[in-house]
Amino acid sequence: MTNNPDIEKIGLNSIQFITGIFNFTKINGLIHLLEIIIKVGKYFPVIIILLASMKLLMAANDLLTNSITFAILNSIFALGDFIFLVQLYQRHKVHPYEYSSDYKRIGRIPLVGIRT
């Protein structure tokens, strides 16, 4: 094309840069990872309830097998999970805006009551 090797070197590097950005296998992997994160986030409260109840069952089992230390430890962990779940539910319940199904903001929800 041109006799200047610097210009050809710049063109080659820009092509490599573009193919490096548009690596579709990495983009597909990122999309798959985001789908997994969305699914886990959707069922996150259920996962927390299951883990907390499992810890309570482990605490009861530890009490029956005379392992008081592990029973107390598992009870504290289960209590922490239930507290986290309550805080998560309260945060989800208090939301200042109302959204439609396509995530567009409809309006502000009054938190205390309707004032005239």
Sign of the alpha-carbon dihedral angle for 33, 39, 42, 46 = negative
Q: In this structure, what DSSP letter does residue 113 have?
A: -
Question: Would the pTM count as exceeding 0.85?
Answer: no
Residue 36, number of CB atoms within 10 A of its CB: 10
pLDDT band at 57 (very low <50, low <70, confident <90, very high): very high
Q: Which pLDDT does position 116 carry in this prediction? A: 47
pLDDT band at 2 (very low <50, low <70, confident <90, very high): low
Distance separating alpha carbons of residues 27 and 58, to the nearest angstrom:
42
Q: What's the token pair of residue 65? A: 């097998």
Q: Are 85 and 48 in contact (CB under 8 A)?
A: yes
53 phi/psi in degrees, rounded to 5: -70, -35
Q: Which pLDDT does position 14 carry in this prediction? A: 55
**Pick from 47, 35, 53: nearest CA to 88:** 47
pLDDT exceeds cutoff 60 at 17 = no
86-99: average pLDDT:
68
pLDDT digits (tens, 9 = 90+) for 21-56: 566 777 888 888 999 999 888 888 899 999 999 999
Q: Higher confidence at residue 105 or residue 8?
A: 105
Q: Which pLDDT does position 35 carry in this prediction? A: 92
Q: Which pLDDT does position 16 carry in this prediction? A: 57
Distance separating alpha carbons of residues 18 and 12, to the nearest angstrom:
10
Q: Higher confidence at residue 96 or residue 45?
A: 45
Q: Higher confidence at residue 28 or residue 69?
A: 69
Q: Are 47 and 41 in contact (CB under 8 A)?
A: no
